[in-house]
């Protein structure tokens, strides 16, 4: 992908988008299509934010492709193009394996209804009532009920059912049983609609197609362009500074984390004490660790499932899942079908993680901790793909420090902020005219679908502002 150098960017745009995660990309595309001049700035050499990939020894590793809800089909058609929509395919084999149960599912409402009755002995009426309750949830509903209370109401004492319902969502957005039940209900219902889907061709193909669409719509894209600050004068946004260049714009959309946006890019001094009080209560979500396995050319393994939620912990616990030595991990398994243009077998193990556990380690301790994590992943993966150790020609680990380095997110968060971040993100442009934020906030705006849809929502705000 060849992008414009920052030196060649114009002096003025209608809107500057800072960061090219899926939310930033979509916001940029939507505003360009609405007729505004748009500059997209990305600090990394590659677009996509956490929707990213990297190449090693002939392998292409997908960092966050794991699987998204069916809603992406409509969303990609409406806000991107039909070719992107047409590459979305279903993942049929979602596997759970833990001391409480082992099963394979399409992760859809029909299949979960069957499983909850047949395998867990829950009455059909209870299952139906549960689904209709979570399906009706809106983000503006009452937030006092927690997910734990929701589960206890429908499935009292059934830690096995709680695990089935919660574990995938904890991996998907870092949420716990103590979060507002609405955040659970909205995300879970999105998945339960029709199951789990993926982008055939891989993350690199998707982001490449998005970059083509952005160029077609006239967006100027600069990579390797790290914004030093968003310039606010007399209480209004007037542009950005990138190195020694100042580029003017009446509106700036920050797709940097909300904490970065306020603390570092705009600077706390441009906000009122009341806004900062709310902002300071925003908690960033946890980070992640990943281990990437690439198979030697010519090696293969049979279908073992597309997404494996595995754990040897006795019961579900979001604290256990954050532990450095967690016994819980997902394996995203990529077969030659994932990237028909570049057939390969890769496996990505993902774990939730705390930034603080990893941030302070000295070099040797950090290396040793990574090695130990790789070893635990090998042990677990070997149960599903026997002899995996001998089949791979590449393995490496990423930690919260890696996530921090590539995304610049505060504490390497891989799922943005907890629920309270949504309100701050939604109200920032009322505080500083022309300053908008798009990014993973409030749990529900997280994940590929949440990020893209949030990009559309914010584009509507920006369009309204620019046409005012």
Partner 1 sequence: MTRDEIRDVILEIIEDIDEDADFDSLDADQPLRDQLDLDSMDFLDIVMELRKRYKLQIPEEEYPELSTLNSCVNYLEPKLKDS
Contact residues toward partner 1 (CB under 8 A) are 34-35, 75, 78, 453, 456-457, 459-460, 463-464, 467-468
Nearest residue (CB) to partner 1, 144 versus 467: 467
- Within 8 A by CB and 6+ apart from 376, the residues are 325
Alpha-carbon dihedral 189, 195, 196, 201, rounded to 10 degrees:
-130
Cα separation, 186 vs 189, in Å, equals 5
Q: How far is the CB of 74 from partner 1 (least distance, A)?
A: 8
Nearest to 104 by CA among 302, 385, 305, 337: 305
Nearest residue (CB) to partner 1, 336 versus 464: 464
* Contact present, 383 and 301 (Cβ < 8 Å): no
Q: What is the Cα gyration radius of the chain?
A: 22
Q: How far is the CB of 188 from partner 1 (least distance, A)?
A: 17
Task: List strand residue ranges (DSSP E) for 296-425, in order.
Answer: 307-311, 328-334, 346-353, 392-398
Q: How far is the CB of 451 from partner 1 (least distance, A)?
A: 13
Where b means 16+ CB within 10 Å and e means fewer, 292-322 reads bbbbeeeeebeebbbbbbbbebeebbbebbb
Structure tokens at 275: 């806004």
Nearest residue (CB) to partner 1, 50 versus 452: 452
Q: Which ranges in 59-197 belong to alpha helices (H)?
A: 71-79, 82-86, 109-118, 124-135, 147-154, 159-173, 181-192
In which order are the strands placed within the sheet that holds 196-199?
A: 68-69, 196-199, 88-91
Nearest residue (CB) to partner 1, 173 versus 453: 453
Q: How far is the CB of 426 from partner 1 (least distance, A)?
A: 10
Tell me the three state secondary structure of residue 417. Answer: strand
Q: How far is the CB of 33 from partner 1 (least distance, A)?
A: 10
Q: CA–CA distance from 67 to each of 23, 90, 334 (Å)?
A: 17, 9, 11
For 418-437, the DSSP string reads: -THHHHHHHHHHHHSTTEEE
Q: How far is the CB of 274 from partner 1 (least distance, A)?
A: 21
Structure tokens at 263: 């603390």
Q: CA–CA distance from 405 to each of 24, 223, 444 (Å)?
A: 19, 16, 24
Nearest residue (CB) to partner 1, 366 versus 465: 465
Q: CA–CA distance from 419 to each of 51, 143, 178, 224 (Å)?
A: 22, 10, 11, 31
Nearest residue (CB) to partner 1, 55 versus 78: 78
Nearest residue (CB) to partner 1, 157 versus 467: 467
Q: How far is the CB of 253 from partner 1 (least distance, A)?
A: 15
Nearest residue (CB) to partner 1, 361 versus 456: 456
Q: How far is the CB of 34 from partner 1 (least distance, A)?
A: 6
Nearest residue (CB) to partner 1, 165 versus 459: 459
Nearest residue (CB) to partner 1, 47 versus 186: 186
Q: How far is the CB of 19 from partner 1 (least distance, A)?
A: 22
Q: How far is the CB of 85 from partner 1 (least distance, A)?
A: 12
- Within 8 A by CB and 6+ apart from 212, the residues are none
């Amino acid at each position: 992908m060849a992008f414009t150098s920052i030196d060649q960017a114009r002096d003025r745009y209608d809107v500057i988008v800072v960061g090219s995660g899926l939310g930033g990309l979509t916001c940029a595309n939507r505003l360009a299509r609405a007729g505004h001049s748009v500059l997209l700035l990305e600090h990394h050499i590659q677009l996509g934010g956490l929707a990213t990939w990297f190449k090693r020894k002939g392998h292409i590793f997908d960092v966050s492709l794991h699987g998204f809800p069916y809603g992406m089909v409509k969303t990609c058609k409406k806000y991107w193009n039909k070719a992107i929509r047409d590459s979305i395919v279903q993942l049929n084999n979602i596997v759970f394996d833990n001391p409480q149960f082992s099963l394979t599912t399409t992760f859809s409402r029909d299949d979960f209804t069957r499983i909850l009755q047949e395998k867990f002995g829950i009455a059909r009426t209870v299952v139906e009532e549960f689904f209709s309750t979570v399906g009706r949830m809106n983000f503006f509903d009452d937030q006092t009920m927690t997910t734990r209370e929701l589960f206890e109401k429908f499935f009292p004492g059934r830690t096995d059912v709680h695990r089935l319902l919660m574990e995938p969502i904890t991996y998907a957005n870092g949420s716990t049983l103590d979060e507002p039940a609405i955040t659970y209900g909205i995300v879970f219902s999105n998945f339960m609609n029709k199951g789990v889907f993926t982008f055939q061709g891989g993350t690199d193909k998707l982001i490449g197609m998005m970059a083509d669409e952005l160029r077609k719509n006239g967006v100027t894209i600069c990579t390797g362009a790290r914004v030093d600050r968003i310039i606010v004068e007399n209480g209004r946004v007037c542009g950005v500074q990138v190195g020694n260049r100042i580029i003017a714009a009446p509106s700036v959309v920050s797709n940097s984390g909300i904490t970065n946006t306020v603390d570092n890019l705009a600077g706390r001094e441009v906000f009122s004490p009341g806004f900062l009080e709310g902002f300071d209560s925003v908690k960033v979500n946890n980070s992640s660790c990943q281990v990437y396995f690439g198979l030697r050319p010519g090696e293969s393994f049979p279908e073992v499932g597309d997404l494996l939620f595995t754990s040897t912990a006795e019961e579900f616990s979001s604290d256990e899942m954050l532990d450095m030595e967690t016994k819980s991990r997902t394996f995203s398994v990529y077969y030659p079908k994932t990237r028909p243009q570049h057939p390969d077998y890769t496996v990505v193990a993902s774990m939730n993680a705390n930034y603080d556990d990893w941030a302070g380690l000295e070099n040797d301790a950090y290396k040793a901790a990574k090695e130990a994590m790789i070893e635990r992943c090998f042990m677990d993966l070997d149960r599903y793909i026997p002899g995996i150790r001998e089949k791979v020609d590449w393995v490496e680990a990423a930690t919260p420090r890696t996530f921090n380095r590539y995304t610049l997110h505060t504490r390497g968060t891989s799922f943005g902020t907890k629920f309270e971040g949504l309100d701050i993100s939604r109200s920032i442009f009322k505080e500083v005219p022309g300053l908008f934020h798009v990014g993973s906030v409030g749990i529900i705006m997280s994940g590929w679908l949440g990020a893209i849809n949030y990009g559309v929502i914010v584009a509507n705000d920006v369009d309204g502002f620019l046409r005012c």
